[in-house]
Structure formats: structure tokens, C-alpha cells
Amino acid sequence: MAAVQRGFQVYNQVCSNCHSMDHLAYRHLGEEGGPFALYMVRNHETGEMEPHVGRPEHGGTFVEVTDNPYIRAIASSHMITDIDPTSGQPTDRPGRISDHFRRPFPNEIAARASNGGAAPPDLSVINSARHGGARYVRSLLMGFTGESEGTLHYNPYFPGGRLAMAPPLADGAVPYADPETPQTVEQYATDVATFLQWSADPHMETRKRMGLVVLAFLIVLAGLLYLSYKQVWRGESH
């Protein structure tokens, strides 16, 4: 989950300048299984409840997204274009946790005009939409050769070997809070690919936990049904 948090930072500071994520809302970041989900955990030394970002190893009480200050801060740091209820004119306002991720361009025509005629794809489910998933995205981000032809840049991992996107990452471009984490193109590509894998299915962790509970229930139920069968038909030859 630490890689997902760092990957969101890379997307937020680099990728979001061109790529949208229309299927993801800021609240998803703070829901259970999200990278910035908040839990209250008891400090065994002081006995006080302390906030903890991310699922703790043991215990902890989940804090609802509406009460998560980290998600509110992330959302409000983006300006969302909305319609003023008084004048009816477009206006910018700070984001809310219910807002979907801010779009870098108002429409596809503007996106193409700003990127040499090629509209940057939405990244919400890019890992699911591309063969190879996260490995493909990571390889693509690391695969630029440095050669170009006009507005096209050579990359052997892209179909056709050339794409309009310039190399988006550079060593040291995104400062990480953890000094031990390398600030290299390889690390940035790994982290943002991990974030995009999470964003393609933000409820995967919750769904899998629920699946384990359901399987355990079915196993117990099967055992009870077998014992009932043996009790009902005890002494009968069949």
C-alpha cells in the first residue's frame, strides 16, 4: 500500500497534467482498502487512540471517509470547474471528497490540441485495458530510448514503436517523503503502475476479504448439512 500511496503522488504531480481518471473519485482513496484509509489505533504505551493511515497490522477502528482529513485535504487541493448556481457561468471551486478526479482538459478536442493531435487516454482502468497490465505500463514508462521523430518518441513497448507522449519521468522529479525510497525513473514507474493496478479495482481487497468469509461459511454449512444428513438417514439402508 505504500507503493500505491507513492504512485498516487507520481500521478498527482506528473500524469494528471495530461491524463484523466474519470472512474475514480477522491473518496475512493479513503475507503477501506484505499491508500489513505484512516484508522484509529490504540497506543499501547500511552493508552490513547492515534490516527494511522492505512490498514494496521492488528486492530484499529476505521474512520469514515467524511471524517478523514487527509482525503479532504487532497480533494480541496484541486480546483474543480462547476456551474455557479447564481450566474449559471462556469466557475472554479475547491474539490470535495465526492468529486471525481479533476480532468486536465475540458473536452477531447482541447486534449488533442494540447498533445499534438493525440488525446491522452483515461487511466482509470488502463491496467485492465492493456495486455500485460501493470507490467506493460511500467515497461512503457521506462522504455523511452531518447530518440524522436518530430512529435513522436521511440519506445519499443508501444505498438508501432512510436508514440506522441514525451518521456514523462526523470530522476528526482517527484520528491518522496521517505529518504530511503529511490527517486528514480524505475521506482516512479513501479509505483505509478501499482497505483493504477489498485485504481482499476479499488474494492479488490474488501471483495477478497468478503470472499474468504463466504468460503468459510459455506464450508461450515456443508459440514452441518452432512451431519444432518447422517442423523436423518441413520439406520436406513440406501
- Do residues 13 and 29 share a domain? no
Q: Looking at the domain assignment, is residue 211 inside a domain?
A: no
- 76 lies in a domain? yes
Q: Is residue 226 part of a domain?
A: no
Find the Cα–Cα–Cα–Cα dihedral 178, 180, 183, 185, rounded to 10°: -120
Sorted by sequence, the CB contacts under 8 Å of residue 212 that are 6+ apart come out as: none
Give me the tens of pLDDT residue by residue for the chain, a chain 238 residues long: 899 999 999 999 999 999 999 999 999 999 988 999 999 998 888 888 889 898 887 778 999 999 999 999 999 999 998 888 888 888 889 999 999 999 999 889 999 988 888 889 999 999 999 999 999 999 999 999 989 988 899 999 999 899 989 999 999 999 999 889 999 999 999 999 999 999 998 888 888 889 999 999 999 999 999 999 888 887 776 5
* Shared domain check, 173 and 125: yes
Whether this model's pTM surpasses 0.75? yes
* Domain total of the chain: 2
69 and 35 together in one domain: yes
Range of the domain at 197: 1-20+107-202
Last residue of a domain, one of 73, 99, 125: 99
pLDDT at 43: 85
Whether residue 186 lies inside any domain: the answer is yes
pLDDT value for 14: 95
Q: What is the pLDDT of residue 118?
A: 85
144 and 176 assigned to the same domain: yes
pLDDT at 203: 84
Q: 149 and 38 in one domain? A: no
**Assigned domain for 221 exists:** no
Does 210 map to a domain? no
Q: Is residue 192 part of a domain?
A: yes
Mark whether 30 and 131 lie in a shared domain: no
Are residues 112 and 12 both part of a single domain?
yes
Helix (H), strand (E), coil (C) string for the chain: CHHHHHHHHHHHHCHHHCCCCCCCEHHHHHCCCCCCCEEEEECCCCCCEEEEECCCCCCCEEECHHHCHHHHHHHHCCEEEEECCCCCCEEEEECCCCCECCCCCCCHHHHHHCCCCCCCCCCCCHHHHCCCHHHHHHHHHHCCCCCEECCEEECCCCCCCEECCCCCCCCCCCCCCCCCCCCCHHHHHHHHHHHHHHHHCCCHHHHHHHHHHHHHHHHHHHHHHHHHHHHHCCCCCC
**Which single residue is written with the C-alpha cell 459440514?**
223
Neighbouring-strand partners of residue 81: 92
Same domain? 40 vs 116: no
**Within a domain: 209:** no
Q: Are residues 120 and 77 in the same domain?
A: no
Same domain, 13 and 114: yes
Claim to verify: residue 154 and residue 133 sit in the same structural domain = yes
Same domain, 113 and 191: yes
The confidence score (pLDDT) of residue 78 equals 94
